[in-house]
Structure 1
Amino acid sequence: MNQANVAQRKSEVVIVASAFGADAIRRDGHAVWAAGASRAGACGFEVRRELFRDEAQAQHEALRTLGERIGALGLWAVYSTPASLFAADGSLDDAALTQAIDEAAALGARIVKLQLGGAPDGTATDAATLDRALTAISTSAARVVVENGQLRAGGTIDAFAALFGALPRDARALTMTFDTGNWLWAGESPADAAKRLAPHVTYVHCKAVTGEGARRFATAPAADDAQFAALLALLPRDVPRGIEFPFDAAAPESDAAARVAWLAAA
């Protein structure tokens, strides 16, 4: 295969801030570690709202400044909020959606990510609710995505399939972040999820998982992890891949550079 074809096969890689360690992000701020992501060769950097030291860092002026610093490093931004699109009773959380869109706009993010949320048996999928959601999403310059979480509520394949199945066929405004590891916390098969949901995936959070039950931990996939490679092969190749597993604390930037290069070509 010639070099041009190899280059065409590479995926954009995003470094999720938490990969450098939550304590480091809270101590130093996102901008310091965005510079590390840039040096590691990443294309994007995911800002995590839950890692802000205080609410002042979530104010629009602070977000604009952070976004400018990320852009000056040659990176584009993802804005991740722990808020959920749907409330615990399954209803749409309009306020959470509006706030996420507004904060992502201040940051200048390309993608804004929320948890799916909802009740254990799913989310509202009636036409009025979905129309309200899509109307709000249409105001967003950033792509709005919902992620599978680690709880049954917002973490089941059926909940995502029901939501996307109820959306108008031409509605691509709402898509998903497919987290390769979170399905296991929710008791779901990542491979089954990929087979059913791949057409709706526009961002992939990459990690392996070690441990059992509630005592599971995110870890880096091994280079020869055939199961992880098979899972990636089920998902779209032309969407960004985010590194959400922890880097080697003793040498985070050199580990980051190696992982970026590996994941781009995996």
Structure 2
Amino acid sequence: MSEIYIPLNSLFAEKITMKDLLQAISIVGKSKASGIEIRRELLKEKDLLSVLQNIQPILHKTNLTTVYSAPIPVWNSNGFVNEQALQTIFEESYCISAKWIKLPLGHYMEEQSDLQSLGKILKKHPNVSLLVENDQTLEGGKIQPLAAFFENASKLELPVKMTFDIGNWTFQNEDAYEAFQIFQPYIFYLHLKHVCKEDNHFFTVSLPLEQNAYWRQLDQWIPASIPRALEFSLESSLEEINKYIDIVEANQGRENSHAFH
């Protein structure tokens, strides 16, 4: 069965206090989850390093694997690597012994963006892996730029993999199944959510429980060895977290008659 991770934004919708953060780690630590995703955008910038350093021993005690997620794009608006920002994120990730950092693509421009410069940064940080996520933006949520990035990074054997968010494709009117076929070799971490659209407004809801729900097929196509994150509101409730972990684990245990080959 997969390891299941709980992102902080599934428990909180806005910036949080140290008390909230400790409560979240405690709840996730007591749950059936294997890991937690610490979201930089929910932490207060002012004392960020101090907060991260303070929670490190607590995270260590819970035995949770830690992912550090930040809304900082790999490539800036001019198509150059966001060097100083990436260096900062890696340094912050060390404070919580994060295994991976998760970032959006940003403005990758095939003719201009220098993958060698990204490679040099990654070489300095061999113990933390970079996962690039399809986000909700035009530049980082469309199949084409992401496919070009991963294909070219793969040719150079850069140590970068993908966070595949099954719901975010909806924001850019992309087909998740088509995306899955393209990105399958690169997927290292799976974000499970369900996105609805109403009057041009998108919103994330809990995973539908119907047996023919779309998320179930995608989830079954992706190997159980790949960690999953439950990225939808879990009401800061131990019961709710465990309920959805059980649902996802049961889904992987089902006989899969629609396996993708």
TM, length-normalised to structure 2: 0.88
Counterpart residue number, 2:259: none
Cα distance in 1 between the residues matched to 2:179 and 2:28:
29
Counterpart residue number, 1:33: 24
Counterpart residue number, 1:108: 97
Cα distance in 2 between the residues matched to 1:175 and 1:226:
27
Matched, 1:239 2:230: no
Which SS does the other structure have where 1:85 is aligned? coil
Task: Map Cα deviations across residues 204-250 of structure 1 (whole Å, 9 max, x no partner).
Answer: 11100122364111111122243111112333331110111101x3x
TM, length-normalised to structure 1: 0.86
CA RMSD in angstroms, aligned pairs only: 2.0
- Which of 4, 14, 19 lines up with 1:13 in the alignment? 4
On the 8 A contact 1:31/1:70 being kept in 2, the answer is: no
Matched, 1:22 2:13: yes
Cα distance in 2 between the residues matched to 1:181 and 1:213:
18
Which SS does the other structure have where 2:89 is aligned? helix
- Shift of the alpha carbon at 1:28? 3.0
On the 8 A contact 1:191/1:231 being kept in 2, the answer is: yes
The alignment-based identity, stated in percent, is: 25
> How do residues 21-170 of structure 1 correspond to structure 2 at under 5 angstroms?
21-23=12-14, 25-26=16-17, 28-56=19-47, 58-59=48-49, 61-118=50-107, 123-125=108-110, 129-140=114-125, 141-169=127-155
Which SS does the other structure have where 1:203 is aligned? strand
Which SS does the other structure have where 1:90 is aligned? coil
- Shift of the alpha carbon at 1:158? 0.9
On the 8 A contact 2:79/2:112 being kept in 1, the answer is: no
Structure 1 segments unaligned to the other structure (5+ residues): 1-9
Count how many residue pairs are aligned between Structure 1 and Structure 2: 249
- Shift of the alpha carbon at 1:27? 6.9
On the 8 A contact 1:178/1:203 being kept in 2, the answer is: yes
Q: Structure 1 residues 241 and 32 mapped into 2: Cα distance closer, same or farther (>3 Å)?
A: same
Cα distance in 1 between the residues matched to 2:66 and 2:10:
15
On the 8 A contact 2:6/2:35 being kept in 1, the answer is: yes
- Shift of the alpha carbon at 1:138? 2.1
Which SS does the other structure have where 2:71 is aligned? strand
Q: Structure 1 residues 213 and 81 mapped into 2: Cα distance closer, same or farther (>3 Å)?
A: farther
